[in-house]
Amino acid sequence: MPTERAEPAPAPSGTAPPTDFEVAELLRDAAGMLLGRTSPIAERALVRLREEVSYYGSGALAPTDVAESVHRGIEAGVRSFADPAHRRDSGIFAWETGRRRAAEDAPLLPLVQAYRAGVAELWDAMIAAVAAQQPHRLPLMAHCANQYWRQIDRDLTLMVESYRVVANASGSEDARRFLPVLRVLLRGHVDPVDLSSAAIGLDVPARGRFVVACVRKEVVRGELDTRQEVDGIVIYNCPKRQGGTTVIAYLGERSPADVADVLAATHPGVGIGISAVVEGLSELARAREWADLALRAATDDAEIVTLPERLGTALLLARPDLAALCAATVLGPVLELEASDRTALLDTLQAWLDCRGSAAQAGKRLYCHPNTVLNRLRRLERLTDRYLDAPRDLADLVSALDACRLVRPD
């Protein structure tokens, strides 16, 4: 709700109203009393905007950095009023906030409402500070309201203008319509009502077969439609703030391999990780984590990997501490060798595994005799006290080799 402004009180009979200089001086002094004491004000402002603005009261919808933003905004506001040298600070904060929220596809109206809730709390704090420290000047604070809110109006104008500049340059109406919903789903913790609304907005069922893909390449808005339908697969492209692109695909009756084919065509030569299939919109956040693990399990920058193909590696990636322990425990004596010996043994094991246990094929790959391959493998068995013809030992060696590549890329 917009906050009502205080109207200046009439001057007591026979008393002249304060001059503009006196008003500015009182505002400066009131704000100065709050320097270094903004954290409690920001916490109260955060509670206030969550209560007054439903968008920011929703754990699913509100930006993840809203608390940090409120603290920075209150600090900028106090500096701006307390020190003429920092008069522009609140305007700079407002401009940057408008740009950032537009880039995140956050709606404008809740942003304006939240900003007003924050500055209203700051105004209340300034009044309280004067009442506590200089009560004789408290009646004059009513005369400061117009000057205070004129500066707030300036800052709001800056915020709205910067928001519109970014929004108008940010691509299609589909992007502004779909991306906020997609980002909420990918963050998880969505209640059933929000899921139902999301399904209607995205025109997909709340329960159905979905996969999520992480693409190394960032999709520039306008390069690909936010929403596509290819061979019966509904695809949403969601640029990631830290780089790259997250793709949500509703499969229907299609398979993850079909999604891989579509993405290979739209992102040629780019590394892609694809999650296992999940059964509804409520599981997209988990699928995003799986897709990220699949991408990290790729052996080169242009490989397309589905999670089921690399489950073992994904498990190690999910727990790097256990991956390091596995490598050290199983391959410790090998890792202590000179670099050339260590590399020869590990590369030989990898080649032997890749060649399905064929020493002859591994020898061709390594440009050495099959007997050399066998000798290296026997040496590795002696060092590790694990044997390639024992299934559990072999499983340990495979996991340790993968872990070694992850934690010791040299």
Which tokens sit at 20? 């503009």
Q: Give the pLDDT band (50/70/90) at residue 99.
A: confident
With a cut of 60, say whether residue 171 has pLDDT above it. no
Q: Find where tokens 């004789």 sit.
A: 136
Q: Give the pLDDT band (50/70/90) at residue 240.
A: confident
Give the DSSP letter string of 327-367.
HHHHHHHHHTS-HHHHHHHHHHHHHHHHTTT-HHHHHHHHT
59-91 per-position pLDDT tens digit: 767 888 899 999 999 999 999 999 988 888 999
Residue 239 phi, psi dihedral angles, 5° rounding? -60, 140
Mean of the per-residue pLDDT values of the chain = 86
- Average confidence (pLDDT) over 345-355: 93
DSSP state of 11: P
Strand order in the sheet with 233-239: 227-230, 233-239, 245-250, 210-215, 272-274, 304-306
pLDDT recorded at residue 12: 47
Q: Find where tokens 């995205």 sit.
A: 202
pLDDT recorded at residue 6: 47
Pure H helices in 108-255: 108-133, 145-168, 173-187, 192-202
Does the pTM exceed 0.75?
A: no
**Among 17-26, 257-266, 267-276, which stretch is predicted with the lowest mean pLDDT?**
17-26
